[in-house]
Amino acid sequence: MNAPFKYLGLLMGSCHKRNAFWANVLERMKSRLGRWKGRFLSLARRVCLIKFVLSSIPIFYVSLFKFPSSVLKEIVKLQRKFLWGWGSVGKKIAWVSWRKVCEPREDGGVGILDLRLFNVALLGKWIWCLGSDKGELWKEIIDSKYGGWRSLKENKSS
């Protein structure tokens, strides 16, 4: 079998820190945007599409790997362009900062998922599982390869 190959949509045998690894996610998001005619949708409909479709495409990836900052910037750029006038001619004005857009509705935001924070939370889930699971095979493999969850947390290269 040749590496890299795809398994469950993930490119196996490739470095997750490179932009080429994330190209499939970006392409899928762009293809979804190409199908929708954002200029014919209301702001509320664009928000719904971002919250329930665009934000859910990379979830499987970010539950396993940390986003490179350049890929995260590209995804946020796609979301912002779509929200403030996808397909329109000329530049559109962003009426609210993206940080405010990502705040929960209870706090006055729109409730769009902040992918950077969500990525950190999903990766933190794995550290919690490593610390709490006893005798699981996957935990023993990680312990033998990396020396436990503390060394994963302290390792700055990952």
Alpha-carbon gap, residue 62 to 55, rounded angstroms:
11
Number of domains in the chain: 2
Q: Which domain holds residue 87?
A: 5-113
Give the separation between CA 24 and CA 20, rounded to whole angstroms: 8
Does residue 104 have a cis bond before it (omega within 30 degrees)? Answer: no
Does the pLDDT value for residue 146 go beyond 90? no
pLDDT digits (tens, 9 = 90+) for 78-103: 888 888 876 666 677 788 899 999 99
Instruction: State in Å, rounded, how far the first CA of the chain is from the last one.
Output: 26
For residue 138, the one-letter residue type is: W
Contacts of 104-110 with CB under 8 Å at 24 or more apart are 110/47
Q: 66 and 38 share a domain?
A: yes
Are 95 and 158 in a shared domain?
Answer: no
40 shares a domain with 95: yes
* Statement to judge: residues 97 and 138 lie in one domain: no
Q: For the segment 23-54, what is each residue's pLDDT rounded down to a tens digit?
A: 888 888 888 877 676 677 888 888 888 888 88
Whether 85 and 20 share a structural domain: yes
26 and 75 within one domain: yes
Is the whole model's pTM more than 0.85, yes or no?
Answer: no
User: Any bridge partners for residue 12, and if so which?
Assistant: 5
> Do both 151 and 135 map to the same domain?
yes
C-alpha span between 20 and 7 (Å, rounded): 16
- 74 & 11 share domain: yes
